[in-house]
Amino acid sequence: MPEYATVSCPEGDQPDRRFERIIGKSAALESVLDQVEQVASTDSTVLIEGETGTGKELVAHAIRNASQRCGRAFIKLNCAAIPLDLLESELFGHEKGAFTGAIAQKIGRFEMADKGTLFLDEVADIPPALQPKLLRVLQEQEFERLGSGRTHKVDVRLVAATNRDLMKMVARGQFRSDLYYRLNVFPILLPALRERREDIPALVTHFVKMFSRRMGKRVDSIPPETMAAFQWYSWPGNIRELQNLVERAVILSRDGVLPNPLQKRPTRPIILSSNAQSSPLSMSWEHSDRALILETLEQAGWIVGGPRGAALKLGLKRTTLLAKMRRLGISRPIHQEETNVLALAPAGIRGEDPLSPLAFPKF
Query: Cα separation of 122 and 166, whole Å?
Result: 11
Q: Read off the pLDDT of each residue in 316-330 and give the average, rounded to a whole number.
A: 82
Percent of the chain with pLDDT over 70: 79
The model's pLDDT over 235-246, given as tens digits with 9 standing for 90+, comes to 999 999 999 999
Q: Do residues 88 and 106 share a domain? A: yes
pLDDT computed for residue 328 by the predictor: 82
Q: Do residues 184 and 39 share a domain? A: yes
* Average pLDDT of the residues of the chain: 82
Q: Do residues 75 and 45 share a domain? A: yes
Looking at residue 173, the DSSP 8-state letter turns out to be T
pLDDT computed for residue 35 by the predictor: 97
Provide the H-helix boundaries in 233-329.
Answer: 238-252, 285-299, 310-314, 318-328
pLDDT computed for residue 347 by the predictor: 47
Q: Do residues 60 and 173 share a domain? A: yes
Q: Is the pLDDT of residue 41 over 80?
A: yes
Q: At 305, is the pLDDT very low, low, confident or very high (cuts 50, 70, 90)?
A: confident
Q: At 26, is the pLDDT very low, low, confident or very high (cuts 50, 70, 90)?
A: very high
pLDDT computed for residue 294 by the predictor: 84
Q: For residue 158, what are the β-bridge partners?
A: 118
Q: Is the pLDDT of residue 179 over 80?
A: yes
pLDDT computed for residue 327 by the predictor: 79
Taking Cα atoms as reference points, which of 276, 190, 279 lies closest to residue 240? 190
The model's pLDDT over 230-275, given as tens digits with 9 standing for 90+, comes to 998 999 999 999 999 999 999 999 999 999 999 865 434 444 343 4
Asked if residue 131 is part of any domain, the answer here is yes
The model's pLDDT over 67-86, given as tens digits with 9 standing for 90+, comes to 999 999 999 999 999 988 89
Taking Cα atoms as reference points, which of 359, 358, 361 lies closest to residue 302? 361
Lowest mean pLDDT among 137-151, 194-208, 275-289: 275-289
Report the number of distinct structural domains present in the chain.
3
Asked if residue 5 is part of any domain, the answer here is no
Interior CA angle at 345 toward 342 and 348, to 5°? 100
Query: Cα separation of 17 and 163, whole Å?
Result: 26
Q: Do residues 185 and 205 share a domain? A: no
Q: Do residues 211 and 142 share a domain? A: no
- The residue with greater pLDDT, 178 or 305, is 178
Domain boundary among 154, 169, 191: 191
Domain boundary among 152, 171, 191: 191
Q: Is the pLDDT of residue 362 over 90?
A: no
pLDDT computed for residue 19 by the predictor: 67
Percent of the chain with pLDDT over 90: 60
Q: Is the pLDDT of residue 21 over 70?
A: yes
Taking Cα atoms as reference points, which of 43, 135, 139 lies closest to residue 91? 135
Residue 292, exposed/middle/buried by CB under 10 A (0-12, 13-18, 19+)? middle
pLDDT computed for residue 118 by the predictor: 97
Q: At 360, is the pLDDT very low, low, confident or very high (cuts 50, 70, 90)?
A: very low
Asked if residue 269 is part of any domain, the answer here is no
Q: Is the pLDDT of residue 8 over 70?
A: no
The model's pLDDT over 104-126, given as tens digits with 9 standing for 90+, comes to 889 999 999 999 999 999 999 99
Which stretches does DSSP call E strand in the chain?
46-49, 74-78, 117-121, 142-144, 151-153, 157-162, 186-189
Q: Read off the pLDDT of each residue in 152-163 and give the average, rounded to a whole number.
A: 97
Domain of 76, CATH number, reads 3.40.50.300
Asked if residue 22 is part of any domain, the answer here is no
Asked if residue 4 is part of any domain, the answer here is no
Q: Do residues 226 and 308 share a domain? A: no
Q: Do residues 160 and 43 share a domain? A: yes
Asked if residue 15 is part of any domain, the answer here is no
Q: Do residues 144 and 229 share a domain? A: no
Amino acid identity for residue 80 in this structure = A
Q: Do residues 181 and 201 share a domain? A: no
What CA–CA distances, in Å, run from 354 to 40, 246, 301? 57, 38, 18
pLDDT computed for residue 264 by the predictor: 62
Structural domain range at position 341: 280-349
Q: Do residues 123 and 52 share a domain? A: yes
Amino acid identity for residue 225 in this structure = E
CA dihedral 144, 146, 148, 154 (to 10 degrees): -20
Asked if residue 275 is part of any domain, the answer here is no
The model's pLDDT over 132-149, given as tens digits with 9 standing for 90+, comes to 999 999 999 999 998 888
Domain boundary among 213, 235, 252: 252
Q: Do residues 147 and 217 share a domain? A: no
Domain of 227, CATH number, reads 1.10.8.60
